[in-house]
Structure 1
Amino acid sequence: MTRPGRHTVIGVLVGAAVVALGVVGLVAVSSSVAAEARTRSVLVTVVVQALVVLVAAAGAVAVYASAARRRRQETEHRLEAELCTERQLARAKGHLLAGISHELREPLTAIFGFSEYLVEYGAVDETEARELVRAIRAEAIELERMVEDLFVAARIDDGSLRLRSQEVAVADVVERVLACAGRTGSRIEVSRTDALVRGDPTRVQHVLRNLLSNALRHGGARIRIITVVEGPRVTITVADDGPGLPDDVADSFLVPSEEVGRRLLTGGSGLGLAVARALAEAMGGRLDYQRAMRWTAFQLRLPGVRRPEEIDVVEPRRHRGPRRIAVGSESG
């Protein structure tokens, strides 16, 4: 504070942290010492209030800048994580397309080879022609199964798959699966059962068809389809005496996953098994893999339905009234 003559000058340096924001200066002209004292007191009060306002504003600016930096960093981290996820999905989709192309090539090659043989050489006899046509039909059915897997996987991925819930006879589904596969010889051993499960009949058949196709193409010489009722659940096992899944694929198949769509894209167990597992879980069941005693087994577990004759009927206990006791006197 300086006082040249009758002038009162007050200057206050205003800053935030170590940065100077400016200087507040006030000048008052007084005609007397008393007036000058009052003016000086008022000016000091005004300057202090202005200083508080400016410091609060500077603090708010600093807080906003810090929050903006934090939000920018969080956004950068989120975008980086999303970009990494997209890259992983892109690689997974590339592997999926490569695997599907390989799987589609096998039946297409067989269909082309059988039909080319018929066109080039014709059929030697009716039996040979029937065998070739049957083989072409079987490969066409396998192609249809793969296309259906792709369709179902896409609907599971976008959440548009709708399932029915009703009673399904296991024996009927197994018969349809065997008929579609075109393989009903002694190579497949089936345990007949009248068990009922609750689920979507089309999707139960889809799961069993995928499991049987996997056993026929990659399993051993013997295949078994076994149905067992285990309390409230029914277990349908498709087993074969083949080599089983590779260790890395088996490990990935056994690890539970929370994202169905992601599993369909990155599952190393193949699209058919991945779709089968996703459908089993969507119907309130599960699909397990087991390798024991040189047998490979895929176990489909679904909620069972008890038949009316299997329901225990408990008759209500008859109400018994109070027991009456006759009291009399003995006559001698």
Structure 2
Amino acid sequence: MSIGATKKRGRLAALTLGVGVAIVVVFALVFSIAFGSRGVAAHASALHNADEAIRAATIARSQSGLATHLSILERDFEFDAGNGIDLSISETKLALRDLAAAIDGMSDATGNVDVRIQSSSATFAATVQGVLDLLEVGDVDGAEVAAVASLDLHFRSVIGLVVVERDHEATQVAAANALMGRIGDMARFLVAFLVPTAAIILYRELSRRQQRQRDLEVRLETEKELNKARDEFVANASHELRTPLTSIFGLAHLLEEDPALQASETAPEMAGMIISETNDLSRMVDDLLTTARLDAGALHYQFENINVLDEAREVVDPMRRSGAQIAVDCQPALVRSDRLRLRQVVRNLISNANKYGGPTVRIVGQVVSGWYEIRVEDDGDGIPEELHDRLFQRFLHQGDLPLVLGSVGLGLSIVRALTEGMGGAVWYERRGGWTSFVVRIPLATTDDRSLYREPGEAAAALAPANARRAFRSVIGR
């Protein structure tokens, strides 16, 4: 992994971590605010109920005392105070109900109200109710004794406990409000800090991405220009090489057939070597030209019905004259193909077999399931299994060396491109001690009329003219 990629991943990890921490902090703040709000609400409710309890207890004491006092006045001074007494008793009972509700509310709000408050309020309510009961049955003296003896004592007890609880709840509310204030300050700070920080980080990341995009576009454009220059150089150089190669090839054949040289012991052999090496070099030039046309999309196919056996012999005969031992066992049949492209496919496969395979090379052709299969086989050791998936790629190498010595590494890729361009297929097999490259092409039919295919119609496209064929055409003219 490159240093740039490592830094990029580091920045991305840091950004992700920062965003994660920010999200956690935000959620923590939201949870704290929600929890604090619930706490404030609970303590505020308890505080309100404590105030209500104090108010209700005070009203109950004062109204019960007023009812007792009115009853004493009515008895001693014989005037009618019944309405006032009834009203005071009614107010007292209502206050007792409010007191009970307030105590229950304090318990519900906090869940842990002091049991002494509940006990004391119950005792106070019972004392007040006892006074009211005595007044209702007309026992004014008993009511006065009960009010003087215990009512004030129980009132002060319950009020004292409730006041303590109220002060406690007030303290809790103040503390919760202070905490909420601090959380609010923290939230405002984080918002004021994180939002600009996030905007800056986002802007920097977008700027970096845009810069990387611009750099990639510049590099891509540069790469395109380099590839174009390379292709133009390869095409031009290949064309320039073809002229002297054609001359060397033709002159070597003329020398080989010269009676004066045939009388020499070494001259025919040397002429044969020249022809063989020229064939190899011509094939390499053809491969380079074909690849350049493939990349440019400028390959065309001239389809016709051709005899496979004749074409196989046309390819093999020059190689035999150079000393190669190649057997041909092809079933005669007509196929629909491009003559020059088919020859180039067979020539490349035979050249690979001669240079890389075993001493015995053969071409086997037969009709199989409506197709014609051409098998170029040798009895060598075969191709390592780790290379099988990459056999038909360009510039295939085994370690630091090309798979086929004396090759530019384009032969098999061109074979696949040309075969697929002619509507066929090619694959590798190893069986029975033989290494086989199988080329499958369509058989000719009676309604074949198309003689020309544009490069866009082919699955791939490549094409050089055969050096020897070009030389013969020149000699013929």
TM (norm. structure 1) is 0.53
Match for residue 283 of structure 1? 422
Give the letter aligned to residue 203 of structure 1.
Answer: R
Match for residue 297 of structure 1? 436
Aligned partners of 2:425 and 2:439 also within 8 Å: yes
Query: Partners in 2 of 1:74 and 1:194 — Cα distance?
Result: 63
Alignment equivalent of 1:159, drawn from 269, 287, 297: 297
**CA gap 1:212/1:183 in 2 versus in 1, 3 angstroms:** farther
Are 1:76 and 2:212 counterparts?
yes
Aligned partners of 1:233 and 1:304 also within 8 Å: yes
**Structure 1: which 5+ runs fail to align?**
1-65, 98-107, 116-122, 255-262, 309-332
Match for residue 187 of structure 1? 325
Map of 1:202-213 to 2, 5 A cutoff? 202-213=340-351
1:130-167 alpha-carbon deviations (Å, 9 max, x no partner): 12211211111111111111000110011111111221
Give the letter aligned to residue 226 of structure 1.
Answer: V
Query: Partners in 2 of 1:163 and 1:124 — Cα distance?
Result: 41
Residues matched between the structures, number: 210
**CA gap 1:304/1:72 in 2 versus in 1, 3 angstroms:** farther
Map of 1:196-275 to 2, 5 A cutoff? 196-253=334-391, 263-264=393-394, 266-268=395-397, 270-275=409-414
**CA gap 1:188/1:274 in 2 versus in 1, 3 angstroms:** same
**CA gap 1:292/1:71 in 2 versus in 1, 3 angstroms:** farther
Give the letter aligned to residue 126 of structure 1.
Answer: S
Map of 1:142-153 to 2, 5 A cutoff? 142-153=280-291
Q: CA RMSD in A?
A: 3.9
1:37-96 alpha-carbon deviations (Å, 9 max, x no partner): xxxxxxxxxxxxxxxxxxxxxxxxxxxxx9998697367358549848959x98xx9xxx
**CA gap 1:277/1:163 in 2 versus in 1, 3 angstroms:** same
What is the DSSP-based 3-state SS (H/G/I as helix, E as strand, rest coil) of the residue aligned with 1:305?
coil
**CA gap 1:306/1:129 in 2 versus in 1, 3 angstroms:** same
Query: Partners in 2 of 1:290 and 1:299 — Cα distance?
Result: 7
What is the DSSP-based 3-state SS (H/G/I as helix, E as strand, rest coil) of the residue aligned with 2:443?
strand
Query: Partners in 2 of 1:238 and 1:170 — Cα distance?
Result: 13
Give the letter aligned to residue 149 of structure 1.
Answer: D
Deviation at 1:180, TM superposition (A): 2.8
What is the DSSP-based 3-state SS (H/G/I as helix, E as strand, rest coil) of the residue aligned with 2:391?
helix
Aligned partners of 2:416 and 2:426 also within 8 Å: yes
Map of 1:118-157 to 2, 5 A cutoff? 126-157=264-295
Query: Partners in 1 of 2:379 and 2:342 — Cα distance?
Result: 23
Query: Partners in 2 of 1:124 and 1:173 — Cα distance?
Result: 29
Deviation at 1:172, TM superposition (A): 1.3
Aligned partners of 2:305 and 2:335 also within 8 Å: yes
Identity of aligned residues (%): 35
Query: Partners in 1 of 2:428 and 2:262 — Cα distance?
Result: 45
Deviation at 1:243, TM superposition (A): 1.8
Give the letter aligned to residue 210 of structure 1.
Answer: N
Deviating more after overlay: 66-75 vs 164-173: 66-75
Aligned partners of 1:138 and 1:182 also within 8 Å: no
Runs of 4+ more than 6 Å apart? 66-69
Match for residue 170 of structure 1? 308
Give the letter aligned to residue 287 of structure 1.
Answer: V
Query: Partners in 2 of 1:272 and 1:74 — Cα distance?
Result: 42
Query: Partners in 1 of 2:428 and 2:218 — Cα distance?
Result: 33
**CA gap 1:76/1:144 in 2 versus in 1, 3 angstroms:** same
Query: Partners in 2 of 1:82 and 1:295 — Cα distance?
Result: 50
Query: Partners in 1 of 2:327 and 2:443 — Cα distance?
Result: 23
What is the DSSP-based 3-state SS (H/G/I as helix, E as strand, rest coil) of the residue aligned with 1:182?
helix
What is the DSSP-based 3-state SS (H/G/I as helix, E as strand, rest coil) of the residue aligned with 1:288?
strand
1:87-138 alpha-carbon deviations (Å, 9 max, x no partner): 9x98xx9xxx9xxxxxxxxxx9xx9xxx9xxxxxxx8962421122112111
**CA gap 1:190/1:78 in 2 versus in 1, 3 angstroms:** farther
Deviation at 1:205, TM superposition (A): 0.2
Query: Partners in 2 of 1:124 and 1:194 — Cα distance?
Result: 36
Aligned partners of 1:178 and 1:184 also within 8 Å: no
Aligned partners of 1:170 and 1:195 also within 8 Å: yes
Give the letter aligned to residue 293 of structure 2.
Answer: R
What is the DSSP-based 3-state SS (H/G/I as helix, E as strand, rest coil) of the residue aligned with 2:286?
helix
Query: Partners in 2 of 1:82 and 1:194 — Cα distance?
Result: 56
**CA gap 1:186/1:160 in 2 versus in 1, 3 angstroms:** closer
1:154-193 alpha-carbon deviations (Å, 9 max, x no partner): 1001111111122121011101101232358793221132
Match for residue 47 of structure 1? none
Query: Partners in 2 of 1:69 and 1:175 — Cα distance?
Result: 66
Query: Partners in 2 of 1:216 and 1:275 — Cα distance?
Result: 18
Aligned partners of 1:198 and 1:304 also within 8 Å: yes
**Structure 2: which 5+ runs fail to align?**
1-201, 235-244, 253-260, 398-402, 404-408, 448-477
Aligned partners of 2:272 and 2:321 also within 8 Å: no
What is the DSSP-based 3-state SS (H/G/I as helix, E as strand, rest coil) of the residue aligned with 2:302?
coil
| Higher strand proportion | 1
Query: Partners in 2 of 1:232 and 1:82 — Cα distance?
Result: 51
